[in-house]
Amino acid sequence: MPWVTRGLRNGVLTSPYPRRPDGYGADWRGAVSVRPQVGAAAGRSAKELCPTGAIGQDAGGGVVLDRGKCILCGRCVAARPDLFGFDPSPEVASPTRAGLVVPEAEENDGALAEARADLGQRVRALRRSVHVRHVDAGSDGSEEWEIAALLNPVYDVHRLGIFFTASPRHADLLLISGAGSAGMAGPVRTTYEAMPDPRVVVAVGTDAASGGMVSPTYATRGGVGDLVPVDVWVPGSPPSPFSILHGILLAVGLIPERKGRR
């Protein structure tokens, strides 16, 4: 009985996201963004700053940053605040791997539209309610915390019709975390194949996108992209629960993609 009143004690704790933006995030690194550049030559030395090789140059010599490799260590932001900054928005997921590169390249638009249309076709049946299964393919353990956090009263994804299920046979959506350890390649494949159609795969975290700081090693595959076809990529090391939620909502077509990423 005392638990009933206890459950009411603090009122509603749940975030208004995605209906309204959540204020939380201003003091947290959502992603690294690239500032508009003054001169093309500015970026040549910037490459050296990154421990995971996320910083590169586009054809025009401008600085680009692959969020799929970025582990948010902040070294580039500290050393070159003229080129890099933290973007507090947690809406960082993208339906293509190339879409994680900022600033967004124009030539990606065709591929993006195609990926989006294909995904939209498949997930039409999942918009009201989606059942989620998670598999760890060599994570560091923190992604599991952030995924499990989706069930706490703050994020409470049940309100959005998102449910976690024990069996892949009941799952529509597969969340995969981790750098793609060789020992999990088989189990991940088996889990994916056990799911009924239509099925959607969301890669959770920078490790899942590229291996991040962990790869390359003899026992990892540089992310989970080689294990199963991935529909949505969520960068972050680990991504915050809001980012993971954004990835899930994007996968089932309940939220538009954030445009104009820098």
- Binding interface with another protein (CB under 8 A): 2-4, 6-7, 10, 13, 24, 27-29, 51, 71-74, 86, 134-149, 151-154, 164, 166-168, 178-179, 181-185, 187, 190-191, 207, 212-220, 237-238, 240
CB of 17 to another protein, least distance (A): 14
CB of 261 to another protein, least distance (A): 20
Whole-angstrom distance, CA of residue 232 vs CA of residue 112:
11
- What amino acid is encoded at 143 in this protein? E
Which residue lies nearer to another protein by CB, 96 or 237? 237
Which residue lies nearer to another protein by CB, 29 or 97? 29
Which residue lies nearer to another protein by CB, 79 or 112? 79
Residues 194/168, Cβ–Cβ less than 8 Å: yes
3-state helix, strand, coil in the chain (%, to 5): 35, 15, 50
Nearest to 122 by CA among 255, 261, 251: 251
CB of 154 to another protein, least distance (A): 5
CB of 152 to another protein, least distance (A): 4
- What amino acid is encoded at 259 in this protein? K
Which residue lies nearer to another protein by CB, 2 or 36? 2
Six-digit token string for 71: 């582990």
Is 30 strand, coil or helix?
Answer: coil
Six-digit token string for 217: 């090693």
Nearest to 29 by CA among 250, 239, 244: 239
CB of 109 to another protein, least distance (A): 32
CB of 57 to another protein, least distance (A): 22
Which residue lies nearer to another protein by CB, 96 or 181? 181
Which residue lies nearer to another protein by CB, 16 or 74? 74
Six-digit token string for 41: 């030559």
Residues 96/112, Cβ–Cβ less than 8 Å: yes
* CB-side neighbour CA atoms (13 Å) of 76: 31
Pairing of strands 101-102, 63-66: antiparallel
CB of 246 to another protein, least distance (A): 16
Whole-angstrom distance, CA of residue 32 vs CA of residue 237:
12
Q: Is the peptide bond before 2 cis (omega within 30 degrees of 0)?
A: no
Which residue lies nearer to another protein by CB, 102 or 214? 214
